[in-house]
Homo-oligomer: A and B are copies of this chain.
């Protein structure tokens, strides 16, 4: 990571040359950069996240396949990204256990490990209101990695979780000392104490050196920079599971502990800001469900009047982003295109209207409506915000 940049792009940055000054007239006539310690991204690629102070959105419209490059994984943190020394960091597990214990990061890596490719999504992942919005703007707070770590169930056995433990508190070592209460059942089911992301150590933005990873659950519950787990018999009612990450539903009620990410899909191509030509277009997008596998993605190219089955790229994994594709011949006439996913529980991605009807207007988190794109006759692709509808 601290290696001297080895390639043309790295050298340009180090020597203050502009990248374009390095472009050879004919690359076949001059020996290229020699092999390096760390590879580079091409200087021609301007793919970046969109940051605010508290989050940064993945450029979904620029992605291929299902893996999110780790440095383009979305960010959401409540007090910035801490710098944590992995040689000093420890995870304490205590409370309703036979034997309260401390694990160093090295200890955690000695246990049997598991890897899985799964998405992470912030449950507040929805924006609308303008036509000039890209998939990144609308729902860029989702990304996917291959996560590696120790199953939490293994650690539960190691400390001897007591039968009356029904919830646990997960606590981060960042400046928010972020906390969430999690049902113990999730810990036994499929929770991972992760230290690996896409083949390497977690990135600082994603919880280095160790985080909780709860497949399919709203991102905030997968506590980053994890320092402590306390087993208890009731939820703690932390600020993040009361004041935040709760949503208004019908009858003035407020729903909390809505953990599962509801199934969702979005067409990422063609999508704003792309401009397309008439003729054959491969409609491409991502679909996922926090409740299991994606079983079907349908695409409509006539504003929702009729739906076609999209192809799903193998492997179609549990609680994972799936790449879908639908080959379509566009005649050049103005229309609307959209996708909707069905997951293995039979849940079908709803429309904005269905969601508002079901929950009332004062809702918020877990808003996963079908996203429609207006395709203009000149090939521009614009978000269709609800106020235009």
Q: Which A residues form the contact surface with B (CB < 8 A)?
A: 1-3, 6-9, 13, 19, 22-24, 27-56, 62-73, 75-77, 79-87, 110-117, 146-148, 173-175, 177, 195-206, 208-209, 225, 280-282, 284, 313-315, 317, 323, 325, 327
A20 to chain B, nearest CB (A): 9
Chain B nearest CB: distance from A266 CB in Å? 16
Tell me whether A209 and B42 are in contact (CB under 8 A): yes
The CA of A313 and the CA of B33, in the complex, are separated in Å by 37
- Are the C-beta atoms of A203 and B34 separated by less than 8 Å? no
The interface residues of chain B lying within 8 Å CB-to-CB of A69 are 70, 198-200
**Copies of this chain in the oligomer:** 2
Q: List 25 A-B contacts (CB under 8 A).
A: A1-B41, A1-B42, A1-B47, A6-B51, A27-B173, A28-B173, A30-B175, A32-B80, A34-B80, A35-B51, A35-B75, A37-B50, A39-B72, A44-B85, A45-B201, A47-B201, A62-B200, A65-B148, A65-B196, A65-B199, A66-B115, A67-B199, A69-B200, A110-B280, A111-B282
Are B51 and A313 interface neighbours, CB within 8 A? no
Interface of A, helix, strand, loop or mixed by DSSP:
loop
The 8 closest A-B pairs by CB, nearest first: A32-B80, A64-B196, A27-B82, A64-B148, A39-B71, A65-B115, A35-B56, A37-B48
Other-chain residue from B43, B73, B208 in contact with A2 (beta carbon distance below 8 A): B43
Instruction: Determine the distance from Cα of A46 to Cα of B281 in the docked complex, in whole angstroms.
Output: 44
Given contacts A24-B82, A27-B173, contact A64 B199 (CB under 8 A): yes
- A251 to chain B minimum Cβ distance, whole angstroms, is 36
A70 pairs with B19, CB closer than 8 A? no
Given A35-B54, A53-B35, A73-B39: A45 and B198 interface contact (C-beta under 8 Å): no
